[in-house]
């Protein structure tokens, strides 16, 4: 499965960022909610690991909001990381780029925050739980984990309703047919999990102040402190 995900994202790397606002109708609120979970002062120095960083959308927003932050971007797709390097080239050594599969690789070093956006829902529940353990171990004491992701509804009825509403909103934004088809193809590889289940896993791992701070149809943002 990891090879299929890598193949899909390698193929879409050039166009990925261009399509996001039309495929994520709540784009601004969604990413803003992720930023709001970071408990740091604007001028504070701290370190971040971005899991499944892709083209660097979340990392760029964090870097803009916190000018002294240092960010390691980790992704299985070299093509996506190449785009991130280009987009973040002005940041110099504030950024590092790691081509790794976070399902199988150890998370390097220790960080004040581990974040992820629209990545973890591609791995199965067992792998999610194993990853949460690695995230906890990779955080410094008092560190924060923030996941902005696609999530599953609590029941099949609500899930169908949320998916239908999302499709309706996307169609209103009129993405190119090729972009829409590509997104639907990627969604076939998903393993989304209900928010409440993931929050319970965080608490079981030892995280505190666990909360879902944002929910909009198939998208959610949750966090916890070590």
The alpha carbon of residue 222 and the mean position of all alpha carbons in its chain are separated, in whole angstroms, by 11
The stretches in the chain having pLDDT less than 70 are: 1-17
Looking at residue 2, what is its pLDDT?
Answer: 54
Q: Which residues pair with 147 in a beta bridge?
A: 116, 222
Q: Which fold has domain 2-225?
A: Rossmann fold (3.40.50)
> 101-110: per-residue pLDDT in tens?
999 999 989 9
Looking at residue 12, its pLDDT comes to 46
Domain boundaries, the chain: 2-225
Closest CA to 151 of 180, 130, 120: 120
SS3 of residue 43 by DSSP: coil
pTM score, two decimals?
Answer: 0.91
Report which of 152, 34, 16 is spatially closest to residue 86, judged by C-alpha positions: 16
**Span 61-75, pLDDT tens digits:** 999 999 999 999 999
d(CA 142, CA 156): 36
């Amino acid at each position: 499965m990891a090879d299929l995900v890598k193949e899909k994202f390698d193929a879409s790397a050039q166009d990925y960022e261009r399509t996001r606002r039309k495929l994520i109708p709540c784009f601004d609120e969604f990413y803003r909610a992720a930023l709001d979970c970071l408990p740091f002062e604007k001028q504070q120095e701290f370190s971040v690991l971005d899991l499944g960083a892709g083209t660097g959308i979340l990392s760029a927003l964090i870097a803009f909001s916190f000018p002294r932050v240092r960010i390691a971007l980790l992704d299985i797709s070299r093509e996506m990381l190449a785009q991130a390097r280009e987009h973040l080239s002005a940041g110099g050594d504030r950024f590092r780029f790691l081509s790794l599969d976070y399902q199988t690789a150890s998370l390097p070093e220790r960080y004040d925050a581990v974040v992820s956006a629209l990545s973890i829902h591609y791995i199965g529940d067992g792998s999610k739980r194993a990853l949460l353990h690695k995230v906890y171990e990779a955080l410094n004491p008092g560190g924060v984990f923030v996941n902005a992701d696609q999530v599953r509804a609590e029941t099949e009825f609500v899930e169908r309703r949320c998916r239908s509403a999302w499709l309706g909103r996307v169609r209103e934004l009129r993405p190119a047919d090729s972009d829409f088809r590509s997104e639907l193809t990627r969604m076939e590889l998903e393993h989304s999990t209900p928010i409440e289940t993931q929050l319970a896993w965080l608490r079981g791992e030892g995280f505190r102040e666990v909360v879902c701070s944002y929910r909009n149809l198939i998208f959610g943002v949750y966090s916890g402190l070590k």
